[in-house]
Amino acid sequence: MSRHRHLLKRLSALPGSGTPRDYQELLGPTILVILEEAKDRAGVLVERQLAGSSYRPTPAELRKTWLEMKAEAQGARVEQIAEASQRCPYCEGVGQVRAYVHSRRKGVERVRAFSVACGCPKGQRLRDAQLHYGQRLSRGEFEVMAARQQAQSEWHDGVLAWHVDDCTTGARPEWARWAPALHPPENGGGLGASAWSGGGA
């Protein structure tokens, strides 16, 4: 309560009829009830009232400010819930997913990592964004390209396996965890289609 009384004194310091003491004695009890209701936001409430008032606020004016603050907070919460409910289950709202290619070229195996655009609206916006090295692959394009470059047998060069981390498929396979037998991964970071070609990953 001592903190709220300090806030009451700050309000009473504004210009108005009578003395600050009169304000605290006559309107103080009602003001304190509103500050108690505001709890940990009482300080913010008073700061907002001080910023918008050139005179001592009545309890009705302070309550109006408090109701406005509550409505704003409720509106922000509704927006957060709506945004969370629309979040893509595959990319978790990021708009892109991590993809891995295990390939063999000239007898040497390696793992490459890519960031590919998800099929959700945010992913589509990322897909359409122009990059300095071309255009970001979509997940579908990535999978088509990986399948097209798949090694025809265990003796041929090409893609040996691929995996997409999309929060719904199984855990990332061991080969995508950069096993010591393979070369370190090349972080494609969203390589465009033009950068991934040539009959092998």
pTM assigned to the model: 0.48
Mean pLDDT for the chain?
A: 79
Residues 6+ apart with CB under 8 A from 20: 9, 12, 13
CB 101 within 8 A of CB 175: no
Q: What value does the mean pLDDT take over residues 170-191?
A: 60
Q: How confident is the model at residue 153 (pLDDT cuts 50, 70, 90)?
A: confident
The number of C-alpha atoms within 13 Å of 92 and in the hemisphere containing its C-beta is 6
User: What DSSP state is assigned to residue 19?
Assistant: -
> pLDDT tens digit string along 94-138?
888 888 888 888 878 888 888 888 888 888 887 777 565 556 788
Is the confidence at residue 34, as pLDDT, over 90? Answer: yes
Give me the residue spans of the domains in the chain: 2-85, 96-195
> pLDDT tens digit string along 56-81?
999 999 999 999 998 888 887 777 76
C-alpha to C-alpha distance for 116 and 94, rounded to whole angstroms: 11
Determine the pLDDT at residue 92: 78
Q: How confident is the model at residue 146 (pLDDT cuts 50, 70, 90)?
A: confident
The phi and psi torsions of 56 (rounded to 5 degrees) equal -65, 130
